[in-house]
Chains A and B, each alone.
Chain A
Amino acid sequence: MTGLFEVFWKELSDNFNSRRFVILFLLVYLAGIASIYIAAQNIRSAVDETTRYVFLNLFIVGGKDIPFSFPLFMSLFIPIIGIALGFDAINSERTSGNLSRLLAQPIYRDNIINGKFLAGLVMIAILIFSIVTLVAGLGLRLIGVPPEAEEILRLFTFIFVSVLYGAFWMSLSILFSVLFKKTSTSALASIALWLFLFLFMSLIAGLIAQAIIPVNQNSTVEEVAQFDTLYRMISRINPGTLYAESIQAILLPVLGTTSPTMMMIGIYSGLKPTPLPLTQSLLIVWPQMVGLIALTAVCFILAYVKFMREEIRST
């Protein structure tokens, strides 16, 4: 453990003191407040007396004219937070000349990268936890409906999955910070990858799925369902899809599936959806969560191995 706590505390206090995070905090809070405001405006039209989990609806309901909701905002900001925490983890130490000085101290080399990762993880957890509680508190004030016990559990699960998603982006950008010598390169690489996955991944998944199983107006329900399964399989390469599916199942217990097509089929066949209990919702998103953990672990292990094997030269 030599050195792990020292590196961890130093990184954590750095995170809190740097301007970068003051800006991030402000941005995240403003956007959080904006989304809860929009949700509160529209919640009356979205729920009726038969709706269960009114409180959870606060986190889902978007504006009528502006397509802006809390989950969308979270899936946009979490990657940015993760990248901001990791993109210069190792290469800034190297370019500033701190790395060789650090490595001359009696600590194990891996504790430098471990301490940085842990400090980043704690930072992400603090950010997400505080924004969710802020939004929940504001929502409670605005609509006056207290959450049920299960809703609180679901919110905690939501926080947990969000931290996982943040951890993935952080470990990916730490990997880039080990691979690239310049901080600007690693930041650009992380953001480019994020933009690619965010903007083009669903497009590409659709193209590939269409090429394998062509569907049109005359296609049967089975064909559409097959197309949908394939399309979702491909788009799950994108961790953002894993995250979106997870929060959908957690915050919208009424759906009972992660596939929009299946929902449409359900609605057209006249089935009245009943909300799933939490354990069943967890069962649905279990693969997604494991996928996120695995992706995080793979990125971090790659970064770890590369960092441990690297030759340390001051120049």
Chain B
Amino acid sequence: MSNEFVIETKDLTKAYGKFLAVDRINLNIARGEVFGLLGPNGAGKTTTILMLMGLCEPTSGTVKINGLDPAREPIKVKRVVGYMPEKIGFYDDLTAKENLEYTARLNGLAGNRLNDKIDGLLELVGLKDSRDQLVGKFSHGMKQRLGIADVMVKDPQIAIFDEPTSGIDPEGTDQVLNLINKMAEEKVTVVISSHLLHQVQKICTGVGIFSKGKLVASGSIDKLGREILRKGQFNIIIPIAQLTPQLREEIQKLPEVVDIISRANTTVVVCQDNICSKLEEVVLKITGLKLQMKVEEFELEEVYMKYFKES
């Protein structure tokens, strides 16, 4: 496991005739990261995921999962990667428990401990009481949660979720996202595809934005925001409505400061670097007030909308 990245793609391309569903994508996802694949429907997210799983062969380019090529060594890759497809289905005439048992057996798991493990997983996803119910009677949200248990049965190192929250109510969405978060806490590398930005922002450490088969941007939400919205600058918020002329002058003297903007109740200082502590010192020196400065955060939606407006 000397690799820094557990998922690496190089110029990954999938063509259907002349149409490029996925066009030269370079993704690098580090161990333990929660990575969101963003983009409108038909941008190539699912195709990329299928190629990561080895369920669909790339036209050109390479994929490495833990250093293995999923098209060449599918069994080894599938042993460590859990995948929840977009339209997940279970055997309707089997119970929740029986469905998980089948997945476990396909993964070569058996024995007494398996029983406890499945019970534990069902409890974790909140389906303990529906353990012996036929899955055919489950609601969409319940199936989705069972899907997460299904992914966790094999103790994956990497878990890939394709639109895990599509079509379920807000409460169900929260439950699903919390469960995914729990997996991330256990050092599982998580990849989520979604077009719902708030959710991705809530749990992801990094995102990749897809558009028409291309990966147009990738990195942490913070970094992306700065690059795209602020041209690499930081907006630092000072919780003072009106700066005194003296304070304004002192702040302007700092070499990193580009601009000072007044807002309703605060003042925003645009700087080249993160100089919160320097500003705090200046404010303390001039006004005697000990104030907390913070860098303005980005809404992923802004980044996303901005991106699609420009392209």
Chain A residues lying within 8 Å of B91, measured Cβ to Cβ, are 14, 96, 98
Q: Would you call B46 and A314 a contact (CB within 8 A)?
A: yes
* A interface secondary structure, majority: loop
Q: Which one, B98-106, B125-133, B252-260, B303-311, is touching chain A? A: B98-106
Check B106 against A3 for contact (C-beta < 8 Å). Answer: yes
* Across-interface contacts of A106 in B (CB, < 8 A): 74-76, 78-79, 106-108, 154
Verify if B150 is at the interface (C-beta below 8 Å from A).
Answer: yes
Size class of the contact patch on chain B? 20 to 34
Q: Quote the shortest CB–CB distance from A116 to chain B (angstroms).
A: 13
The yes or no answer to B58 lying at the interface (CB within 8 A) is no
A-B contact count (CB 8 A): 80
B81 interface residue per 8 A CB criterion: yes
Q: Given A105-B78, A313-B46, do A100 and B107 touch, yes or no (CB 8 Å)?
A: no
Interface residue? B55 (CB, 8 A): yes
Q: Are A107 and B90 in contact (CB under 8 A)?
A: no
Contact yes or no, B89 A104, CB < 8 A: no
The complex places the Cα of A304 from the Cα of B32 at a distance, in Å, of: 39
Which residues of chain A are near B113, meaning CB under 8 Å?
A: none
Which residues of A are found within 8 Å of B103, using beta-carbon distances?
101, 105
Question: Which of A97, A102, A312 is close to B106, meaning CB atoms less than 8 Å apart?
Answer: A102
Residue A314 contacts which of B78, B86, B92 (CB distance < 8 angstroms)? B86
Least Cβ–Cβ distance between A119 and chain B, in angstroms: 14
A17 touches B93 (CB 8 A): yes
Chain B CB within 10 Å, residue with most, of A97, A311, A314? A314
| Contact partners of B92 in chain A: CB under 8 A | 96
Tell me, in angstroms, the Cα distance from A104 to B102 when the chains sit together.
13
A18 engages B75 (CB within 8 Å):
no
**Contact across chains for A97 and B89 when beta carbons are under 8 A apart:** yes
Is B286's beta carbon under 8 Å from chain A? no
Chain B residues with CB under 8 A of A3: 106
Query: How far apart are the CA atoms of A96 and B143 in the complex, in Å?
Result: 12
B85 and A97 within 8 A (CB): yes
Closest 10 CB pairs of A and B: A97-B89, A104-B83, A314-B85, A106-B78, A100-B85, A105-B106, A96-B89, A106-B79, A97-B87, A6-B105
Q: Given A7-B106, A101-B90, A105-B154, list of 5 further CB < 8 A pairs?
A: A97-B89, A104-B78, A104-B82, A105-B78, A313-B50
Q: Which residues does A use to contact B, with CB under 8 Å? A: 2-3, 6-7, 10, 14, 17-18, 96-98, 100-108, 311-315
Q: List 27 A-B contacts (CB under 8 A).
A: A2-B75, A6-B102, A7-B106, A14-B93, A17-B93, A97-B85, A97-B89, A97-B90, A100-B83, A100-B85, A100-B87, A101-B88, A101-B147, A102-B106, A104-B55, A104-B78, A104-B81, A104-B82, A105-B78, A105-B103, A106-B75, A106-B79, A107-B75, A107-B106, A312-B55, A314-B88, A315-B46
Give B residues with C-beta under 8 Å from A: 46, 50, 53, 55-56, 74-76, 78-79, 81-93, 102-103, 105-108, 147, 150, 154, 162
